[in-house]
Structure 1
Amino acid sequence: MTIQLDLARVSFAADLARHGDQPAVLIEDRVLTYRELANRVDDVAERLGPVRRLAVLAAANDLDSLVAYLAALSGGHPLILVPADKPAALGSILASYDPDVVMRSGTGEPVLEVRREGTAHQLHPELALLLSTSGSTGSPKLVRLSRENLQSNAGAIAEYLDIQPSDRAATTLPMSYCYGLSVINSHLLRGAGLVLTDLSVVDPCFWDLFREQRATTFAAVPYTFELLDRVGFAGMDLPGLRYVTQAGGRLDPSTAHRYRELGQRGGWDLFVMYGQTEATARMAYLPPQLAAENPGTIGIPVPGGAFRIDPVPGLEDGELVYTGPNVMLGYAECPGDLAAGRTSDELRTGDLARRHASGVYEVVGRRSRFVKIVGLRIDLGQVEKILAELGVPAASAGSDRGLVVAVEGDHDAALLGKVLAQKLGLPRGAVELHAVVSFPRLANGKVDYQAVLALARPNPEPEPQPAAPERSPAGPADVRTIFAEALECDDVKDTDTFVSLGGDSLSYVAASVRLEKALGHLPPDWHVTPIGELAPRPRAAGRGRRWFAPLETGILLRAAGIVLIIGTHAQLLHWPGMAHVLFAVAGYNFARFQLNGDRMPRLRRQLRSLGRIIVPSVAFIAVAYVLTDRYGPENLALLNSFVGPETWTTRWDFWFIEMLVYVLISVAALLAIPWAARAESRFPFAFALGLTAVGLLTRFEILNPPAPNPAPVLWLFALGWAVARARNLPRRLAVSAIAVLTVPSFFGDPYRDATILAGILLLTWLPAVPVLSCLHQLLGVLAASSLYAYVTHWLVYPGLAPVSPALAVAASLAAGVAYWALSMRAMGMAGRWVTAFRTRSASSRTPASPNTAVPA
């Protein structure tokens, strides 16, 4: 066991005494030499015992915590560090890892709570320290660091900072934070002094102590510089200051430049650094001599480390990958992971970066700080930069439901929201701003983005809709009338079906709702059932009015979808994801109504259905193009996705229509190929799954379509198609499994992904949903007019939303219903005119009979 402890010891902690009487710890009332510090550390290490075991330390910036930390490292005991002022974090670690020893600060020496003799854990020989990643303090997910990690990174930092025994570092950051801990490690390695304090830089006592103890350096995060400005740092007399280090996030280049100039005048340097807990703190630094020519960069790798940049599909910049002896062993999420060896040989930082010709690296964004809103990839860091250029400090938490931005100070959040929405090309309802006195921050000084996200306004309950009057069931003649009116055709026979008459997803809603009213029920496969077989269901004797009746799930999803889409855009509520649910519904309806019959009649029916989408959409876009400056010729051609602007502007308003048209044209063209039509007819479910697999290539960015935006939707359309073909339990289970495996993480927002997944599962397992009977007609009208409401609402809600979001939604829906009714009438008249014209043409081409008089 002694051999094991010797092998696990961290050198800079075990060899403190070699620095002799050099000052090690400087506090308000005394100075401890390295020899004295080593004696205290040895005493606590002896109390920890000869058996290597798991310890946890509730650490503060005080002497007891420092001694306990060094005792664990010198004794070879793996140590979990948690902040002393976060009892919940300690409780979480105790519950998750059941450490053998708990250590806390006492009144002159550390307090050890020995929970058992010996250890209950298997501990890897290299394991030395376990830290939470930034912002996840108390999380059971910990970073496993080895003694080599600690020793090598402390050495690298000491080398590039040229730390001397005469240096004295003030502890401006928490010891439980990896950056603050690296200051301790690197100075102890070189025999330098620690001015140990938990005072803030805004406290005048801190600067008194700094001067009294002749401190030479302190560490800062970006927020620290805001505090330094408040306390008049530029005018302070700090004769001993040699350099300031900065990490913990990107420092604004103008702030960095200002402090570099201040340092030049004051005789000290500014070292901008870059790191992560997973790399034991530091991966890169920017030498002061390179700073002027390379502002905003992270510099070069630390000694012993190296970078490379791996491509990221769909992005111009690649991901920064680091290798070096300070890369963690891996993560731990449970006690069993403590026995694991190295599982990570490199660190994928998650940061997007580029390498300059001079050899320095620049981080340009965070891969996880991108969200997709209406298909557009939004860089949350860029959001903050846009507002910063306007002189507004901002913290953008964002999600795929929309942006949630906190702006610091007294600003007009409503006005800024409009400006930001215009610059990003997003619907106003997707941008939510909140003016705050100061940003919420974590213990390490970083912005608490989860707290910013929590500022989002809750979704209000939807307002109840007025009931529609109920009609009594009618006879077979009324069924023919329903089909004739819904499909704008005059000759309807009992042998016809909805599909044979040219019914599609646009007309089936109105037909199905009226049919359910007329028959008292909606038979399965009604759309392919001959009209003569659609008979009313007799009402049971004595049975009164039904309060609830089943409504087709597809109709309900279309009605709810358009309300939620417009409501989200008008900022009445926040419920994203329904547009993508409607793509699955579109595929579901395509399979039901567009895949019956022979190949060529089916193709003609598909083209007619496509025309019923394109004609009214383009007609309205043409009106909008003439009346406003929001759209361009590419919108009229539905080609904005190919030739429109890369950045999101109002010209992307009709992305849903464009994507739907592209998908419908593609599948119609595919099914026009004889072998494809035969394959679909012979293997309908397998064909749908194959199309889903092709779509998933774009969903996972294995293949990138030529259109730059928005997010791929073919796989959702195909998945809805597969739902329609899943006629038995195994197939429904298969479709559900595909949805469960592919939908989550599509947007990275669990709420949005959950909406899409729930919509697909509802479509799969519930062909109809019980809904208040009085709402059927209203929901049917909303569903039938959903496409038209989507097209028209872009010109309706913007002017009304600032006055009343509810009014904006109601007016948008009403405009959609009106345009739907007008379009149906116009297309019906056009259809009858074309039929009459063809009839006259056919008659004129018919040869005259012998008894027919012919003019001379």
Structure 2
Amino acid sequence: MLSRPPTRRVALATDLARFGDRPALVEGTRVLSYAALAARVDEVGRALGGTRRLVLVAAGNDLGTVVAHLGALAAGHVVLLTADRDESVAELVAAYDPDVVVRGGRVEERRERSAHDLHPDLALLLSTSGTTGSPRLVRLGAEGVQANAEAIAEYLSVRDSDVAVTTLPLHYCYGLSVLHSHLVRGARVVLTSLSVVDACFWDLVREQRVTSLSGVPHTFELLDRVGFGAEALPSLRYLTQAGGRMAPERVCRYAELGQRQGFDLFVMYGQTEATARMAYLPPDLALEHPSAVGVAVPGGRLRIDAPDPSTGVGELVYAGPNVMLGYATTPADLARPREVAELRTGDLARIDDAGLVEVVGRAARFAKVYGLRVDLDRVDHLLADDGLVASCASDDERLVVAVQPPGRAGRPGQDRRLEARVGAKVRAITSLPPSAVRVVVVLELPRLASGKPDTRAVLALAADARPPAPEDVRGTFALVLGAERVDDGDTFASLGGDSLSYVEMTVRLEELLGSLPAGWHARPVGELEALRRDGDAARRPRPRNRSVETGVLLRALAITAIVATHGNLLDLTGGAHLLLGLVGFNLARFHLTGASASERARRLLRSTARIAVPTVVWVGTMTIVAGAYPWRTALLLNGVAGPPSWSEPAWHLWFVEAVVALLLATAVLVALPGVHQLERRWPFWFPVALAVAALTTRYDLVSLRGGDEIHRAHVVVWLVALGWAAARATSWQHRAVVSLLLASTVPGFFGDPAREAAVVVGLLVLVWVPTVRLPSAVARACGTVAGASLWTYLTHWQVYPHLEDRWPLLALLASLAVGIAAQHAWTATTAAAGRVGSGLRAPRRPEPQRTAPGGGSVIATSPDSSTGRAPGTTLTATGVPTG
């Protein structure tokens, strides 16, 4: 079919070169100027050819997506933008038969000419919701796309010096508007898929000096969880919020925070049908009118249709150049001209005395959950098509589905399967995360006297209903941890598991798997799912090799060397001091995240308690029962109140004492606002400076207490600081600095070259080699030994002395076995106590922070066997390696 040429093209895509060498896009370490971006865009346009075609772009927050999108727009093609998900792409390809599909950097030309009659005004197609799975699309004209970008840039006063970051997906109209409104002003956009709960995201914000952050209400909930505002971001000029109503109290809180820290809060209102934005609330009115969405964007007009005389409430109607041409449900609709002059929003609103619009409800059955618009009627209809009698409702925080069991007679097992089936169906329809969908099985749907479903009663059902019990591992992880997406390579730790969610997850997984495998919290979801399906771990095929994080391997080797040395099997010292570097390494990775200073300190205190409590329990028991230790050792006070020189057995626990003391000192340090801000501003150089300062005690320039100095916390602190710096090293230059400090400061510390070499080599491997490949059996053994290292150290003093003279190898093996058994016993005991205690506590939603499962320490990490991810993805529970 011969496609008609476009009436006009989107100027923000064709005029990029006018900004010259100004930086346009940042992705990782790559910076693309406007001139270079224009050249890339022109190249894509030439590759797509002069015949106007329908181009489907599967969008990610990456450079390839932006170039493909702009290249197609600049060349006059029609872009159909969708999420880069198999189901979304397949559905739209089947429904609209695009001429070209661009996905993952690959261009699939399905035909040379277009199979469609594309209207000259048509430029962009977006999903009406991005959620319902409906093939209904919004038809947007080139004029509307350009006009809305300029309007947003105008009321936000976007400058060419501004820097935005992609906190939202680019296939979502809000996320796309952030890109467009910055391109029209020659500003910079940082492309990333990192979440705001990821410490690396905030490192990126500070590094790129980001000036604006955008989010839906759920984004602001996540900001609350990570302690946003505890430290100032000097570059930040404003926050924007849209994608659904945000609670007025949260609006006020962020507006007040902005006043204190120098940024503005723009509350906005929009729909895909208006390209993106229709209204905004001027920041100076946010505190006085936190429930309002404000005034129309420049060039637009808002009115209330047929307002109620008593309340002034009526349907909100918008007019402006950014209003869509109309909807499309079939390819034939792509030829249709403009059919919409005014946009009836479907929202009920009023205009207050200050002339500001306030949205008070919905005229139609639509909801916005997690910033995604859901057609509730469509969900009901699709469930009915599947033979299900159901009714759904929403309070804009979750989607509640009431469903009748077939035959109207449910049993617990059947009800759980029905919950799982309906939950999976609804998530497929809506793309909502499991945590946002609640399914309630009822014998009969609640209905009004008219016979219509009672949606208020449906919502009320969820208040008393037990949480749904998914029948697969992925759904269980999503439910317990509130994760929006769970992949096969994710683990309990990488998804933000904490001590409370650890207990609930243990109970639920035991129901699914029968018994929990050792180290389940560090196993990928895909591996646990395979255990569920196979029913017998022994029959499950295992990879011959797997990646193990270097820290895990070093920890396992170190505790083994410590016990083997004590048991007369070999003579290999230095392991404990090597592990001090690991303490700092994992301290930085898992506790010194983007949370507030107070939250960091609380986590460190909890971690310290989870090291100190089992130590005191065991050592105290051995002291009372067998008189094994002096009281100072049992209370971890030997370093400050015990004999100054090494003596047995008083100094046996020196490493645990040092770690506890250093964690407590770090908690105090990071709780200081000035120190907290310095560390966040200089994440690498702060620990380097700390290490250099700590050399004063290492070289005895400052002497706090003499005697056995190599085992005292204040003397070895420089090793912990260097491990901290190693975790913050983001370039080879940083790693070289750490390596130089290690190589120049460790020699001479012990007066034993072999011991010093073991520490230096081990820490250099930690700095430069993130993971190693090992046979699967060896990798599993490393994880088991590393995970039990604290208990191995605590108990081995009571095991090896009975065997070391005659059977040194048996002394090692027995010590490791007893330590592993003790670790399992302690874990089971604390889990059982947690299950009892959980019945006495109100449930708390887990925070998606990278904390240790079971509230454990941050001393060691475990590998992601399926992906071989870089360090920082997973960690073990409570073990602290000592020696």
TM-score if structure 1 supplies the norm length? 0.45
Higher relative contact order (CA 8 A, sep 6+): 2
User: Which has more radius of gyration?
Assistant: 1
